[in-house]
Structures are given as structure tokens and as C-alpha cells.
């Protein structure tokens, strides 16, 4: 076993939270929708698995050394031929010579990569995961699954937690599957899945991991184990003698099953709730399982999982949910028909500035501008090539002017945009998001969020840029 430890974690959920009881009401005539309570996290129209993974990665790498490896894990990555790890690196403004890897294929892909990195020594790695999985309206997955992301930074040092033992079981249990021919999930009968998952996969792996760690079941303080169907962890815990509460149950009730992001989100939440010295058991489930047993050494300096669960903007419009999911294709009129094609040559020239939000600061005048150019915007300055790179992502910013209208096309209107003033002097006209349908006021503090800039549905391509969002997020009402 390597010397690496969990150095930091990050967890992110989109602002929108759908009230599950609203779906049951809307579908009452059909008998679908079930009796599920609570909320599920719903990605905004300009969020996907990649953008959310970037947000989680930002939290995990804040005030931390730059990783030498980036691993991106997801079962719902927006591209099948484009390296998402590379895009994460550009969004974080990391060196282009770092190692990058995408992992996929099952829900435990991200956690499996995390265990692999913990088995190494010396090299700092960032494992980030994100999910926005397609679902069919009226299915149990529509309400049971949720959108979100989580990340963990791994490397040498005492960190937050150390791996004591692990175990893996690889079995082709097809509890749910998706394919190129059928992107929406197809699920097997739940009781059968639970019985097989507990007896043949989870319980044996948990017992082996505990034995390798030298830990008794009663010594486990917290567990983070996905419930592929209701009651799975309860049955597995009973079979193994575990008494530890399962933090993934809280996540799934408040935000939904986050797929490949759930084990890392659960790990982040467990490290926030545990005390140094506690033992935490984490599992990744899907086509078998991986189990890791950790000793907590410290709590995160900046909790992210707990706040993410507590914050959000609730809504109960079922048709809005269907639209955000892409399950209904509304007629948005001629303004939605603009062709957002971006030539590869243009993207190549501007990708670093777009993805990293890199502007220029003039060495002669100190003026900061975006985009960076060979000539400064400073009045009276006629010198050329006097600008150095400057990153605007983490610079404090405020609203100077703002407009909310329905003339510019937005799949989730109204469209907010305006002038953003950065503390270092830069001024950028930007789109504004996560407003919760309320218009930010002039002077409000804003933060930058990595989002989809344009989606080219004709060609199946999308470009990314940063948008401004309110610094403070609302707390969910009970």
C-alpha cells in the first residue's frame, strides 16, 4: 500500500432542487412518480458532468499544490471523443504537461481511480467526478438520481485520511445499464438486485476490506455506501455487523444518487462529520464494488459537502424539470435557432483564455483587461506587447449593471447579463447564472462559475466559458 493520503476534498451540487412530491402530483393520473419524498439536485441548462466536476475540483485544490495528474470520472461525460481531464486542467489553469486520464464505464470508476492513486507514492493527483445522467420521465431514476460532482486531492502527507485496507469484487451484475443505443437507463427488478448485491458483492467485499485493515465492524464510525436500491446498505450492514450510519442515505434523500460522484461526495461528507481517529468505510458500487477503509486524521479546513446539501433553490414545476432534462423540446422561437458553430481553429487560439479565464495586465499602466490583446485599452497608451497573463476566476467581483430579459434566448428564462467589475480593475460583460429567478442588484458580490457557453445541437458540440453567479447561495427551506 502506498504512502499517499487524502489531502483535500470538494463537493458540488447545482443550485436547483426539485421537490419530488411535485412529480407524484403531476403524474398522479398515470400511477407513475412513486411516493418519493425530499428533493433531487437538478443541473442548470448550462451545466453538465464536466462543468460540475470543475467546480468540485476548484474546491479540492484551493490553497493546495498543483497536482501532477488529473483523473476525470463519469458515466455521463458529454463527449465520447474529447479528453475531459484536459478541459479540467485548462479550467484550473494547470500546466499542459501534467498527466490526464478519463475513466468511465461504471459508477465506481471514480472511486476505483481514487484507490489506485492512494496505492501510489509521491505523486499528487486530482480525482474529480461529475454526473448528469439522462433519465426517462416517470421512471424511478428520474426522481431517485441527482446531478452533482465531487473531487479528492491525493498525495504525500498526513492529510485528512489514510487508507487502512481495501477490497474489490468484479461481477457483471446488470442492475442498471445504459448504452449508445439506449442512453436512458434500463433497470432490473429491485428485490433481486438487492439480494444479489448484498450476498455476492457488497458483504464479501466489506468483510475483506475490514480484515485487511485490521478493523472490527463495530469500530467503523461512519459509512459512505451507495444504495443502488432501497435497503441495500441496511441489509449489507446487518450481514457484516456494521452499526455505522450511512451518509450516502442523507445525500440520496436530499440530492439523489449522484452516480460516479456519490462515493467521493460521501467521503467528503464523512470526513466533515467524523472526528480525527474515527474509521470511515467507503464503497463504490457498479459492475461489482470497491471498498476502502480509512482512518480520519483531520477535518477539512473548508467543508463543502455539508454546505452543498444545505444550500439551493427549490422548485416544483414538473414541466420545467422535463425541459431541463431534455425530455421535452419546447418551441422557443426564431431566437433559439442561431447557429453556434465554433471552428476548431478559433477554439485552438482562444481555448486557454476561455477555459482558464486568462486576461492581460499591462506592465506599463497596470490596466487589467479581458480579453488580453497586444495593445492596452489604457487611454493614451500606444505601446505593444506589454501585457502579462492574469487569471480572473478567483478575483472578487461585483455587479456594475444588469439586465434581465426574454429577448435573448435562454432555455431557462429570463436571461441575465451585465457588466462585472473585478477588484483588480477589469470589467467584463458577462452572462449571470444561479440567480434563483431573482435579479442581482448593482453592487452585489459575484463569483465565477465554469459553464457551457454554447451548445451546438446540430453537430453535438459544446463550448465552455465562465459566467458570474451570486457569491452567496440561499439556504433551502425545510
Q: What's the mean pLDDT in 107-114?
A: 97
pLDDT digits (tens, 9 = 90+) for 125-154: 999 999 999 999 999 999 999 999 999 999
Q: Which of 102-106, 145-149, 282-286, 337-341 has the weakest average pLDDT? A: 337-341
pLDDT digits (tens, 9 = 90+) for 253-304: 999 999 999 999 999 999 999 999 999 999 999 999 999 999 999 999 999 9
Confidence at 122, pLDDT banded by 50, 70, 90: confident
Backbone angles phi, psi at 7, to 5 degrees: -90, -35
The pLDDT of residue 1 is above 70? no
- Where b means 16+ CB within 10 Å and e means fewer, 383-412 reads eeebbeebebbebebbbeebebeeeeebee
Q: Is 130 left (phi over 0), alpha (psi -120 to 50) or beta?
A: beta
Confidence at 332, pLDDT banded by 50, 70, 90: confident
CA pair distance 445, 45, nearest whole angstrom: 23
pLDDT digits (tens, 9 = 90+) for 255-267: 999 999 999 999 9
Q: Is the dihedral of CA 155, 156, 157, 161 positive or negative?
A: positive
Q: What's the mean pLDDT in 181-208?
A: 94
The pLDDT of residue 35 is above 80? no
Q: Which of 286-290, 367-371, 382-386, 419-423 has the weakest average pLDDT? A: 382-386
E strand spans, 174-231: 176-177, 186-187, 220-224
Backbone angles phi, psi at 409, to 5 degrees: -75, 135
> In which residue ranges of the chain is CATH 3.40.47.10 found?
5-325
Q: What's the mean pLDDT in 308-313?
A: 96
CA pair distance 287, 383, nearest whole angstrom: 61
Q: In what order do the strands lie in the sheet with 387-391?
A: 368-369, 358-362, 387-391
Q: Is 122 left (phi over 0), alpha (psi -120 to 50) or beta?
A: left
Cα-Cα-Cα-Cα torsion 285, 40, 17, 102, nearest 10 degrees, comes to: 30
The pLDDT of residue 338 is above 90? no
> In which residue ranges of the chain is CATH 2.40.50 found?
334-357+392-470
Predicted confidence at residue 32, as pLDDT, reads 86
Q: Are 118 and 128 in contact (CB under 8 A)?
A: no
Confidence at 424, pLDDT banded by 50, 70, 90: very high
**Residue 288 CA, distance from chain mean position:** 23
Q: What's the mean pLDDT in 305-319?
A: 96
Q: Are 372 and 363 in contact (CB under 8 A)?
A: no
Predicted confidence at residue 436, as pLDDT, reads 83
Predicted confidence at residue 339, as pLDDT, reads 81
pLDDT digits (tens, 9 = 90+) for 211-263: 999 999 999 999 999 999 999 999 999 999 999 999 999 999 999 999 999 99
CA pair distance 147, 134, nearest whole angstrom: 10
Q: 381 or 60: which carries more pLDDT confidence? A: 60
- Is the model's pTM score more than 0.85? yes
Confidence at 322, pLDDT banded by 50, 70, 90: very high
The pLDDT of residue 342 is above 70? yes
High-pLDDT (> 70) share of the chain, %: 100
The correct answer on CATH 3.40.50.720 for the domain covering 5-325 is no
The pLDDT of residue 33 is above 90? no
CA pair distance 122, 118, nearest whole angstrom: 10
Q: Is 253 left (phi over 0), alpha (psi -120 to 50) or beta?
A: alpha
pLDDT digits (tens, 9 = 90+) for 159-179: 999 999 999 999 999 999 999
Q: What is the CATH number of domain 334-357+392-470?
A: 2.40.50
DSSP three-state, residue 38: coil
Residues shown for the chain = 478
- Asked if the peptide bond before residue 429 counts as cis, ω within 30 degrees of 0, the response is no
Residue among 4, 229, 41 at smallest CA distance from 121: 4
CA pair distance 138, 32, nearest whole angstrom: 6
Whole-number average pLDDT of the chain: 94
Amino acid at each position: 500500500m502506498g504512502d499517499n493520503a487524502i489531502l483535500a476534498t470538494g463537493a458540488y451540487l447545482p443550485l436547483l432542487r426539485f421537490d419530488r412530491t411535485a412529480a407524484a402530483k403531476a403524474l398522479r393520473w398515470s400511477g407513475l412518480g412513486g411516493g418519493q419524498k425530499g428533493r433531487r439536485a437538478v443541473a442548470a441548462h448550462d451545466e453538465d458532468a464536466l462543468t460540475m466536476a470543475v467546480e468540485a475540483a476548484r474546491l479540492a485544490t484551493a490553497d493546495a499544490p498543483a497536482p501532477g495528474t488529473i483523473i476525470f470520472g463519469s458515466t455521463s461525460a458529454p463527449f465520447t471523443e474529447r479528453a475531459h481531464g484536459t478541459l479540467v486542467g485548462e479550467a484550473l489553469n494547470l500546466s499542459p504537461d501534467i498527466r490526464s486520464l478519463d475513466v468511465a464505464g461504471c459508477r465506481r470508476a471514480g472511486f476505483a481511480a481514487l484507490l489506485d492513486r492512494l496505492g501510489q507514492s509521491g505523486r499528487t493527483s486530482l480525482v474529480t467526478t461529475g454526473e448528469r445522467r439522462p433519465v426517462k420521465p416517470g421512471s424511478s431514476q428520474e426522481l431517485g438520481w441527482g446531478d452533482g460532482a465531487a473531487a479528492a486531492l491525493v498525495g504525500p502527507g498526513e492529510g485528512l485520511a489514510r487508507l487502512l485496507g481495501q477490497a474489490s469484487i468484479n461481477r457483471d451484475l446488470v442492475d442498471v445499464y445504459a448504452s449508445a443505443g439506449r442512453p436512458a437507463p434500463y433497470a432490473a427488478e429491485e428485490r433481486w438486485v438487492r439480494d444479489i448485491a448484498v450476498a455476492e458483492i457488497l458483504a464479501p467485499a466489506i468483510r475483506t476490506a475490514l480484515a485487511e485493515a485490521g478493523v472490527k465492524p463495530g469500530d467503523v464510525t461512519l459509512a459512505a455506501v451507495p444504495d443502488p436500491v432501497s435497503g441495500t446498505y441496511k441489509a449489507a450492514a446487518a450481514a457484516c455487523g456494521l452499526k455505522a450510519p450511512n451518509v450516502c442515505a442523507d445525500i440520496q434523500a436530499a440530492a439523489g444518487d449522484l452516480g460516479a460522484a456519490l462515493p467521493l461526495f460521501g467521503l467528503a461528507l464523512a470526513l466533515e462529520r467524523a472526528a480525527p481517529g474515527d474509521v470511515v468505510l467507503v464503497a463504490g458500487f457498479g459492475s461489482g464494488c470497491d471498498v476502502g477503509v480509512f482512518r480520519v486524521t483531520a477535518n477539512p479546513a473548508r467543508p463543502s459537502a455539508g454546505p452543498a446539501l444545505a444550500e439551493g433553490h427549490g422548485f416544483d414545476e414538473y414541466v420545467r424539470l422535463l425541459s431541463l432534462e431534455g425530455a421535452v423540446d419546447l418551441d422557443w422561437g426564431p431566437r433559439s435557432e442561431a447557429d453556434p458553430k465554433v471552428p476548431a481553429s478559433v477554439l485552438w487560439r482562444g481555448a486557454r483564455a476561455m477555459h482558464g479565464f486568462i486576461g492581460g495586465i499591462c506592465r506599463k499602466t497596470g490596466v487589467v483587461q479581458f480579453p488580453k490583446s497586444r495593445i492596452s485599452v489604457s487611454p493614451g497608451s500606444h505601446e505593444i506587447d506589454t501585457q502579462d497573463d492574469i487569471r480572473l476566476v478567483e478575483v472578487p467581483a461585483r455587479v456594475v449593471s444588469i439586465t434581465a430579459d426574454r429577448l435573448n434566448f435562454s432555455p431557462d428564462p429570463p436571461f441575465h447579463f451585465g457588466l462585472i467589475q473585478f477588484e483588480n480593475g477589469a470589467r467584463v460583460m458577462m452572462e449571470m447564472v444561479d440567480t434563483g429567478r431573482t435579479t442581482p442588484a448593482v453592487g452585489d458580490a459575484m463569483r465565477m462559475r465554469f459553464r457551457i457557453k454554447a451548445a451546438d445541437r446540430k453537430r453535438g458540440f459544446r463550448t465552455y466559458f465562465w459566467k458570474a453567479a451570486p457569491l452567496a447561495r440561499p439556504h433551502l427551506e425545510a
